[in-house]
Amino acid sequence: MLLQLLDCLEKSKEILTRRSAILKVENTNKTHLPLIKGIIKVKYKLEESVTKRNLEEAQLAKLYNEIERKITFKLRSINNQHPITASKYKEVGANQINSKNIISLILDGLTTVKEPTININKKSDLEEDNEVVKRAEKMIQK
């Protein structure tokens, strides 16, 4: 927007004295308006003259480059991670698999999501724990 304003002032400075005066004051005070072309050249690494079209192309190129960097960074970080299989979890002694690792395992096709099932015929862990506590209490009382 500032670039368009500067271009408009420069194009019409010969015809309109008011615009010429505005441009002269901006140049003598060294405000951001006359320096905008230099700033744009440095920010977007432009070698040719700064025009609206060149600026738009440079902005899009920079944006696409940033997006590409983010995507490739994520892909590289995913490829460098080696998912831990279920046997590794048993070796380490972990009881539950981390939800982040489950997603990567599912995506790799190593496992699937299963609904938990409850076996009604089997004694629950809570009942077994109660029996153990009762046995321990009997042993303590003796």
C-alpha 134: how far from chain center? 54
Helices then strands, each counted (H, E), the chain: 7, 0
Scored b (16 or more CB within 10 A) or e, 21-35 reads: eebeebeeeeeebbe
pLDDT tens digits in sequence order for the chain, 142 residues long: 677 777 777 777 788 888 788 878 887 888 777 777 788 888 888 888 888 888 888 889 988 888 888 877 777 767 666 554 555 545 554 445 555 555 565 555 555 555 556 666 665 666 666 777 777 777 777 6
Contacts of 52 (CB under 8 A, 6+ apart): 3, 4, 7
State the pLDDT at residue 94.
47
The pLDDT score that the predictor gives to residue 81 is 63
* Cα 139 to Cα 91, 105, 128, 129, 131, distances in angstroms: 34, 46, 17, 15, 12
Answer whether 50's CB lies under 8 Å from 40's CB. yes
What is the pLDDT at residue 125?
60
Question: Quick check: 11 and 4 in contact, CB under 8 A?
Answer: no
